[in-house]
Amino acid sequence: MAGSEIGDGLPKQPLIDFDHYRQHSLSESDRAWREVRRACPVAWTDANGGHWVISSYQAVASAFKDWETFSSARTDPEVSSLSVGNLKIPPLYPEELDPPEWHPLRRILSELLSPGAVQRLQPRITHWVTHYIDQVIESGRCDMTEDIACPIPAAVSLELLGFPQSDWERMSNAFHGTGSYDRSTPEFAQALADVAWVGARVREELSERVREPRDDAMSFIVSHDVEGHQIARADAEAVVLLVIGGGVDTTTSLTSSALVYLGRHPELRAPLLDDPSILDSGTEEFLRMYPPARTHARIAVRDIELGGCHISAGDRVLLSEVSACHDERAFPDADRFIIDRFPNRHVAFGLGIHRCPGSHLARAQFKEIMRQVLQRMPDYRVEQEQIVEYPNWSSIGGWAKIPATFSPGGRLL
């Protein structure tokens, strides 16, 4: 939609000095968001080409729900619309689409990742959690990110899609690496190059599924009808890529945050293991305290007033899930982890039409990992001085390395 006359030329204020790429640690990120949320919940920054920063629960929730104003579509075909910055990754659908194009592709994923489908996947989730813990259980030491939090969500979603096991590690590293390596490092450049390799592998595998369908999610996606026609191949590719990208490092991040927290608070392990309702409420509280997807970007396509500010058509907007989740006006004692917090209407999975369709799968994997880690490594001890954070908490945060020791146990498979 073309820019409206109403907002053109209006000063963008209040102006703040804020760059979310300057958040190099969890504590820096939490502090920066707290300050900006308390000072001005909707504000403009000139950082990264200029954009609005939306930090209160109320404003974030209302922008997430208002897809008619806040578009998710790409304006630059080269550059991802999901984050403010210059990350060049191939299109990811349906997340980077607005209705009406968004509808049919979202329908595919809602079916593929429904609660019933996740229930049917539970034996595979249990299998992969058991398998990866088996790999380290006899040694009494592991890296809880590299050995557990990273490979398990990758195995579950890549097996579901139908990729051969030989691809899993490189695919998971491609997406994990773009979050867990500093953008100036050769490792980050390699991870971005690997994202392109993942794109090529997706194209190859989809061609094979067209020739010879199998009983897997890639066959389901590529054979799907969209408005009476078979889905366009490019759209199928963008959906598969998003299931990989959305499915892999987010659950990894949540798991790593919980394992570090429980490393510091061992008294919470028994209640989580013994009482399924505490595991349920604890899972939501980990999501609220440590939302893996910290921010998402939008573009305003019409003028609107939000939080007393005038946002003009064409302005870029950064919505902060993490700030909304820590907003004291929405969550009493917001910076405290309360294992049985109720109500807990966090926005870690977003809100509105793009709300995460993978939430059921994410929760099922996270809970199975917690159950088995707490059962099989009940005395695990994190080497706190050796843990390594993601270098930047702008769009995804987490722990790149969590060295730990525990009493050795026996394999189960």
Which range touches ligand HEM (CB under 6 A), out of 121-129, 287-295, 368-376, 402-410? 287-295
Among 236, 362, 369, 402, binds ligand HEM (CB under 6 A): 362
User: Residue type at 357?
Assistant: P
Decide: 260 and 145 in contact? Cβ < 8 Å.
no
Q: Would you give the binding string for ligand HEM spanning residues 225-244, x where CB under 6 A is met?
A: -----------------xx-
Task: Please tell me whether residue 247 binds ligand HEM under the rule CB under 6 A.
Answer: yes
- Cβ closest to ligand HEM, residue 41 vs residue 357: 357
* Positions 189 through 228 that interact with ligand HEM (CB under 6 A): none
* Positions 47 through 76 that interact with ligand HEM (CB under 6 A): 72
Task: Please tell me whether residue 367 binds ligand HEM under the rule CB under 6 A.
Answer: no
Q: Compute the distance between CA of residue 62 and CA of residue 311 in angstroms, rounded to an integer.
A: 14
Among 174, 222, 361, 370, binds ligand HEM (CB under 6 A): 361
Task: Please tell me whether residue 292 binds ligand HEM under the rule CB under 6 A.
Answer: yes
Task: Please tell me whether residue 358 binds ligand HEM under the rule CB under 6 A.
Answer: yes
Number of residues this chain uses to bind ligand HEM (CB under 6 A): 28
The least distance separating ligand HEM from the CB of residue 210, rounded to whole angstroms, comes to: 22
Task: Please tell me whether residue 95 binds ligand HEM under the rule CB under 6 A.
Answer: yes
Please state, as a whole number, how many other Cβ atoms lie within 10 Å of the Cβ of residue 274: 10
Among 282, 307, 357, 398, binds ligand HEM (CB under 6 A): 357
Which range touches ligand HEM (CB under 6 A), out of 142-150, 178-186, 268-276, 343-351? 343-351
- Cβ closest to ligand HEM, residue 145 vs residue 250: 250
The least distance separating ligand HEM from the CB of residue 381, rounded to whole angstroms, comes to: 25
Which residues would be at the binding site for ligand HEM (CB under 6 A)?
Answer: 72, 94-95, 106, 109, 113, 157, 242-243, 246-247, 250-251, 254, 291-293, 296, 321, 348-350, 354, 356-358, 361-362
